[in-house]
Amino acid sequence: MQPIIIVRLRDKAEQAVHHIVGKSGHHLGNMRMQPSPNNQIEMLRQMQTIRRFEERASDDFHAGDIYGVVHCYIGEEAVAVGVCSALERDDRITSTHRGHGHCIAKGADLNRMMAELYGRETGYCKGKGGSMHIADFSIGMLGANGIVAGGIPIVTGAGLAAQLDGNGGVAVSFFGDGASNAGPFHESINIAAKWKLPMLYICENNLHSANTPASKTLALEDVAARAAGYGIPGVIVDGNDVMAVHDAATIAVARARAGEGPTLIECKTYRQSGHTERLEAYEHRTSEEIDLWKKKDPITQFANNLIQREGQLSEADWKQMDDEILQAIQASVDFAKASPFPKPESALDDIFAQ
């Protein structure tokens, strides 16, 4: 079984059509799936919210208001939003160290997120977790994670729970190209495939893991090719094209809900920011490569698309949307700053559930 590539093209009427092709080039079929215009605008809003949230988080980290470490998802927003827009609120996900995007796309509250980054009592984790550990179980966000590949088994357990519940729920694992070389990836996908768990495994292949290029760590360029070893579909999609991601996820979700088991979707994307917002020892990526990908920015592309091709958005709408987003982000910072730090003694709370 070869990985399947979903390429998003335009037909003569300039409508988006997905062409599904085998990796060797033969055509497997077409597909036309369009979320409603409203949904698309909502998706754009989410992507821009992620972007603005992280720009602010980065600034405030450098200003010393946010502590520890912050990993930005800038440039990869189409993945989280493309996938989560294909999910229901009760569906469950786990995220990575680079988790803000998944939180926001799954519907997390900006105030509580920002308050957590600020280490405040009103944060999602009462200040105990910080950027790498935001979770909101009420919306099926089972946590960011400081361990590469650590969340993959956990969300596979959520997939098991969904299967046992029998209500058609699905579970989605987000992880990087780096994580795809770690044991938990293999162990989890094998189990999910064998048990036909309702799962999506979303590899965010941003071509690098910290300071090591994927070309040095992946035996094969395409993570999706690994699906063949488990008898499940392996899909490659342009991870900077939110609609392509959305459609690939939609198919996989349908498959999962129908009891047909997991799908591995590899989203080819790029992290425009550094590995973390700290001063890293070095940046091994060339500025040419970074610039190239900045030109393929997922938000600019999508916004232009909605404005120019689909005509669903005017330049003014877009500007206004961005203003609203910036206000919401400012409000989240205000909320965080107005919130008290936790009481020192509360460090002793929450060790055990009572």
Partner 1 sequence: MRQISYAQAGSEALVEELRRDPKTLVLSTDAAPALVEEFGDQRIRATPIAEGAVTGMAIGAAGSGYRPIVNWRIVTFSFVAMDQIVNQASKIHYMFGGQAKFPLVFRATVGGGGKLAAQHSQSPYSMFMNLAGLKIILPSTPYDMKGLMKSAIRDDNPVISFESSRLMGFKGDVPEEEYTLPIGKADVKREGSDITIVAIAWLVHEALAAAETLAKEGVSVEVVDPRSLFPLDAETIRTSVRKTGRLLIADEAGPTAGASAEIAALTAEDADTFACLKAPIKRVCALQVPVPYSPVLEDHVFPDRDKIAAGVRAVLG
Ligand X SMILES: Cc1ncc(C[n+]2csc(CCOP(=O)(O)OP(=O)(O)O)c2C)c(N)n1
- Does residue 89 interact with partner 1 by CB under 8 A? no
- Which spans of this chain sit near ligand X (rule: CB under 6 A)? 96-98, 146-148, 176-179, 204, 206, 208-210, 271
Q: CA 74, CA 294: separation in Å to the nearest integer?
A: 10
Q: CA 285, CA 77: separation in Å to the nearest integer?
A: 20
Q: Which does 232 bind (CB under 5 to 8 A by kind): partner 1, ligand X, a copy of itself, none?
A: a copy of itself
**Would you state the structure tokens that stand for residue 307, as one six-digit string?**
């404005």
Comparison of 143 and 178: residue with beta carbon closer to ligand X: 178
Interaction mask 242-281, partner 1, x per CB under 8 A: ---------------------------------------x
Strands 263-268 vs 234-238: parallel, antiparallel or unpaired: parallel
- Does residue 150 interact with partner 1 by CB under 8 A? yes
Q: CA 249, CA 6: separation in Å to the nearest integer?
A: 11
Task: Write out the H or E segment, with its range, that includes residue 267.
Answer: strand 263-268
- CA 84 vs CA 91, 139, 182, 310, 330: distances in Å: 9, 11, 24, 22, 24
Sign of CA dihedral 67, 353, 93, 268: positive
Beta pairing partners, 4: 22, 235
- Does residue 183 interact with a copy of itself by CB under 8 A? yes
Comparison of 16 and 203: residue with beta carbon closer to ligand X: 203
Type of residue numbered 253: V
C-beta atoms surrounding 154 within 10 Å: 18
Task: Write out the H or E segment, with its range, that includes residue 21.
Answer: strand 16-22
Q: Which does 230 bind (CB under 5 to 8 A by kind): a copy of itself, ligand X, Mg ion, none?
A: a copy of itself
Q: Which does 98 bind (CB under 5 to 8 A by kind): partner 1, ligand X, Mg ion, none?
A: ligand X
Task: Write out the H or E segment, with its range, that includes residue 7.
Answer: strand 4-10
Sole binder of a copy of itself in the list 87, 225, 245, 299 (CB under 8 A):
225
Indicate the SS3 state at residue 129: coil
Interaction mask 161-190, partner 1, x per CB under 8 A: xx-xx-----x------xx-xxxx--xx-x
Q: Which does 259 bind (CB under 5 to 8 A by kind): partner 1, a copy of itself, Mg ion, none?
A: none
**Would you state the structure tokens that stand for residue 347, as one six-digit string?**
């460090």
- Does residue 202 interact with a copy of itself by CB under 8 A? no
Comparison of 156 and 206: residue with beta carbon closer to ligand X: 206
Q: Which does 148 bind (CB under 5 to 8 A by kind): Mg ion, ligand X, a copy of itself, none?
A: ligand X
Residue located via tokens 């500007």: 319
Comparison of 35 and 146: residue with beta carbon closer to ligand X: 146
Class of residue 338 by CB neighbours under 10 A (exposed 0-12, middle 13-18, buried 19+): exposed
- Rounded least distance, CB 111 to partner 1, Å: 15
Sole binder of partner 1 in the list 18, 56, 98, 120 (CB under 8 A):
120
- Does residue 69 interact with partner 1 by CB under 8 A? yes
Beta pairing partners, 22: 4
Considering only 96-104, 168-176, 215-223, 334-342, which stretch makes contact with a copy of itself by CB under 8 A?
215-223
Considering only 14-22, 69-77, 182-190, 272-280, which stretch makes contact with a copy of itself by CB under 8 A?
182-190
